[in-house]
Structure 1
Amino acid sequence: MDKPALTTSILHADRRLGVEHGGIRTPIHTSIQYGYERVEDLIDVFQGKRKGGFNYARQGTPTTAALESKLAALELGRGAVCFSSGMAALTAVFLTLLRAGDHVVSSRFVFGNTHSLFTTLGTLGIEVSRVDAGSAAEVAAALRPNTRMVFVETIANPGTQVPDLEAIGTLCRDQRLLYVVDNTITSPVLFRPRHVGAGLVIHSLSKTIAGHGAALGGAVIDTGEFDWLHCPNIADAYRSADPASWGLLQIRKKGLRDMGASLSSEHAHQIGLGAETMELRVRQSSANALALARYLESHPAVDKVHYPGLPSHPQHETARRCFGAGSWLLSFELRDPGSMCRVINKLRIPIKATGLGDTRTLVIPVAPTIFWEAGAQVRAAMGISDGMVRISAGIEDTDDLIADFEQALAD
């Protein structure tokens, strides 16, 4: 038969890997140590010669390995490494693959914590140039002889800017640069960065893939699109292995073994369960986001709506071509910024909370919360106004959500 579709594949992934006792899901493995009858087998695990072996839970368990297998399949990759959070995954990529004196080109429009991380990289001698990645020409102009990596988010949080994903991928391929794409907001349901040449894909698993606000996790997936022979920072200890494995091997060893940002088996199990309904949730939450965006764009109290699914969005054609749907993230700006708290407080269905990709709609004022630390100058450069409100659309009934925003925006 033809290869099954995404939801069918992930629903049956565990049992097709061979779960003991006829179970249909991989169990939660709580053991920290893993023993072997022959010490030679333990040595082979430590030296990476034995596939699928475990020695200490900091570097993974059978439960996290099952999730990694699912994630690699979802992103059409050759392998994955899971972490305790999306920021841990992102930090591991930068700190294990870059060295002092290296240079990164990044989209200027990134998650607030990622922006903060870039500031930390600067203190370690790793310079980050931040450009408008909606233009591949701006990315190209920022390249230097010591540039090692280009980083973008598929849809920026909170302004929803979309990079020129395809052209940047071509640029990175021609320049032999590692192209790293954070696919958290679109997810494999709407977009697979491998198709535009991304070598590494990053996810905050807590968002779209887990989807219920109940488990933290992150992941790095190697798509197979980058030739690790072109990465000068791979340690000699890992160069004896297959070059195709160098990137993930170093990320796992340095990011998990040395840094310790390990995903627990309990959360890996919950994330795996959440992934089974990912496609259904993304379809409904994207439909809700589009309906809300259309409604808000027509409301006299709203000055501007940011959503890639709207024809008014500057990168609408790129989003339509690459994603097909705009995902669950949107933001809007009130004509009267002073009314922001009053409007949000009147909402009955959305939860006033940070976070994204939940089954329930979440709403938060951007400038005084998640981007407060960045400062007014950075907010202005990122297009974040004082009256911007971010919405993470959930899976509630569409009419209920629109009716709630209607009463909240009423004078």
Structure 2
Amino acid sequence: MTDYRRLRVALLGAGAVGSQVAALLLRHGQELADRAGATLELVGIAVRDPAAKRDADLPAELFTTDVEPLIVGSDIVIELMGGIEPARSHLLQAINSGADVVTANKALLATHGPEIFDAADQVGAQVYYEAAAAGAIPIIRPLRDSLAGDRVQRIMGIVNGTTNYILDRMDTEGAELADVLADAQRLGYAEADPTADVEGYDAAQKAAILASLAFHTTVPLESVHREGITGIDKAMMDAARHAGYVVKLLAVCERLTDGSGESISVRVYPALIDRTHPLASVHGANNAVFVQAEAAGNLMFYGAGAGGVQTASAVLGDVVSAARRHIAGGVGVGESTRANLPIVEIGRVTTSYQITLEVDDEPGVLATIAGILSEGRVSIATLEQTVVTEANGEPGVARLVIGTHKALEQDLSETVRRLAASGVVERVVSVLRVEGD
């Protein structure tokens, strides 16, 4: 057996991911040592309740509630507690004590990333966070390292497994959102309070992290436009399917260029994707990130976006990288956020829409609607009309599904508002953006 240098590893948190990280560290210690060039000694696991039931059978003597001595005495600190505090304070303490840190905490990085990265730069430490954006999918290193010499133009990501599971079943089974959400909660895909997932907060945090890496610019969470999926219903899914689309909750990070120079847009919302697009084939609770780069072209990263053992894989990859850095010596590599590109509001983004309206089935209605669209600088790409017949057999309202060409989001939004107030529109059934074309 090779006599390796010993590195002390502290683990903060032993939930679904943390317990699997600990189990794999103990089970595959020698194999990981051979890869890292150092023995990785798990010296302790900080938890609130050492007696709580875990997902893995771990030695009781490793558990402690005394976090500070564990952090100060370690070379690598793995933070898997989640939340903002005390995770933030513990990470900063670890960095200031000279440890490298590994985290999967997307909420913390999306809100306090610059503070944590700056603290690491000050002492020459390194922050690793491969598991923070897409679970087991390796996307952080490709964006930070492999594509560092390229210009990323756009990222479209399905980065929340819960919403993808819900929308996929609504699409394939014709189910209603509330019914699928209840199933997802029973199966453990969704939390008892699913707000972070279905309202897009989780995806927005991941979008901020991905955009910061892709465009070398600090992206505050409040700069991410966010919409959830709670307004999606069966009728909208049916209309999308009929038009050759599928609905996905997308994180879109885009480089924009106009006469005033370059800027970026970061947004999360349910959108229509053509069924021939690679992202349309992402089913169940899986995640995928589609990257468009100037030189490399189109790249797609696909896999499990959550799960204890799957996410533990990404965490342990970071631990091995941290160990190799310790053995090699030298200061950590800081985050590249020097581009400082301005972040624009969604109104300045160019998009296209699918607008579904219920209108009076009378002469002149189409002309009125076409006039409102034209006045709003929005041109029609496709138009389909069906008449909804009343129970007595009499014609009722006409349903129009209008596909638009690309236009400024602010023009499209104002046009939809004017359509709703026009007097000939009974109801705006749905408005969905089209992405991926």
- Please report the TM-score for the alignment, with normalisation by the length of structure 1: 0.30
Greater percentage in strand: 2
Larger CA Rg, structure 1 vs 2: 2
- Please report the TM-score for the alignment, with normalisation by the length of structure 2: 0.29
